[in-house]
Structure 1
């Protein structure tokens, strides 16, 4: 690839780079796989491609899994982290989330805008970084309103968004401090289905103090007969 052609790409004078050119750019910039996929998606958008609309209701099978995995807290999320459904333990884990109406419930919004979030999420900065990096992987049409909202009110979000980190959320260890049951050290697992919906489950190691705390949390929430919200 010539320097002249690279300059044309940077200046937007060539909006249809080939797959080979994209791979060469990714290699030269030492992009990881998430970043490479983001580059391909951006190039596809320049060619006129559009991302599929975000789902508006949780799949029936994922709703069933929310109940199956109890007492593990679990959520069904859109690509942009809107909460389509959750089990009672999930709603209780993010203290204060139940105060928000369904249309406002979004994991990223909770992290940056709920007054309880920085107390509940033990490693808040790391969680915030992961949330923003994941938003970068989602088609802008599905996130632009949320990005505008958070950018207008939160300096931490603006700073992280400006870094342009790109990373798909995957399973990791998260710690929470719950006002009723104390500390919970949980491992998250993420299952993504073909329409982009994600099932996120937080599990405790069997026999651990966190498993005991989850059992207590489950006792304090509505019964399975009430169903998910």
Structure 2
């Protein structure tokens, strides 16, 4: 779970989520596992059970692209999950230095005016934010980690009426965008695994990068807001993105957001 055998953990978790009937298999009698047995997945993917055992146990961590594609098809992975599987089968990257938002990017988000915006890295550390983002929530203050605060800061549960859904999305996005083999990321995950809600979500191995979508807030001063999140990739900045929130013009949310200026 902490990244030591990320590829094997992912394969085992996803194998447990595919029912035999979904894979076109006929199941007889009582089964000891909820999903596919190891021999069933091996047969569906066209690999030996011994080789699949080595992959799941982490004694072999370098499957060929052909094997990865066969496993992804047998596990019925979507495009995001396939990309994640491929990333897990590549050599671990060197430890990343602490990310910093460039002066140009900080100037850009400060120029957004009535649009709350912040910059985060692939580990979901907030690197920079404009004043309106920090007025929207202290969660968006530079130095904060969005996933840690999602589970450790009780005020976040009040801020987001759809907290359970957003928490699940945050964990799935962390898995998709971060690399659990990176030491700093592994430390963050190890810390958060002490929280049972995070642990349940993390061990589900859901993968879903951050999307542009509508999010509801309940601000302690201006009340409810419905804002659309836009995600902008910072070119050449190793996973840094700008997150900006916009309210539809001339709506109660737009007027409420203006009161935070």
Give the TM-score range, shorter chain. 0.7 to 0.9
Q: Structure 1 residue 27 and structure 2 residue 73: aligned?
A: yes
CA drift at 1:80: 0.9
Residues 52 and 189 (structure 1 numbering): CA distance in 2 closer, same or farther, change over 3 Å?
A: farther
Q: Please give the secondary structure, in 2, of the residue aligned with 1:205.
A: coil
Structure of higher RCO (CA pairs closer than 8 Å, 6+ residues apart): 1
The equivalences for 1:19-168 within 5 A come to 19-45=65-91, 49-50=92-93, 53=96, 55-94=98-137, 96-97=138-139, 102-103=142-143, 105-137=144-176, 138-140=178-180, 141=182, 142-152=184-194, 154-168=195-209
CA drift at 1:9: 2.8
Q: Please give the secondary structure, in 2, of the residue aligned with 1:136.
A: helix
Residues 9 and 144 (structure 1 numbering): CA distance in 2 closer, same or farther, change over 3 Å?
A: closer
CA drift at 1:54: 5.4
CA drift at 1:115: 2.0
Contact 1:185 1:204 (8 Å CA) reproduced: yes
- Equivalent residue, structure 1, for 2:246: 203
Structure 2: give runs of 5+ residues left out of the alignment: 1-45
Looking at structure 2, the residues matched to 30 and 160 of structure 1 have their Cα atoms a distance apart, in angstroms, of 20
TM-score, length basis structure 1: 0.84
CA drift at 1:150: 1.8
Q: Please give the secondary structure, in 1, of the residue aligned with 2:135.
A: helix
Contact 2:121 2:241 (8 Å CA) reproduced: yes
Q: How many residues align?
A: 210
TM-score, length basis structure 2: 0.75
Looking at structure 1, the residues matched to 52 and 134 of structure 2 have their Cα atoms a distance apart, in angstroms, of 49
Contact 2:139 2:146 (8 Å CA) reproduced: no
Q: Structure 1 residue 174 and structure 2 residue 220: aligned?
A: no
Residues 205 and 37 (structure 1 numbering): CA distance in 2 closer, same or farther, change over 3 Å?
A: same
Q: For 1:172-204, what per-residue CA distance to the aligned partner results, in whole angstroms no more than 9, with x for missing partners?
A: 110100011111100001112332101000110
The structure having more radius of gyration, on CA atoms, is 2
Give the ranges of 4+ consecutive aligned residues of structure 1 lying more than 4 Å apart after TM superposition. none
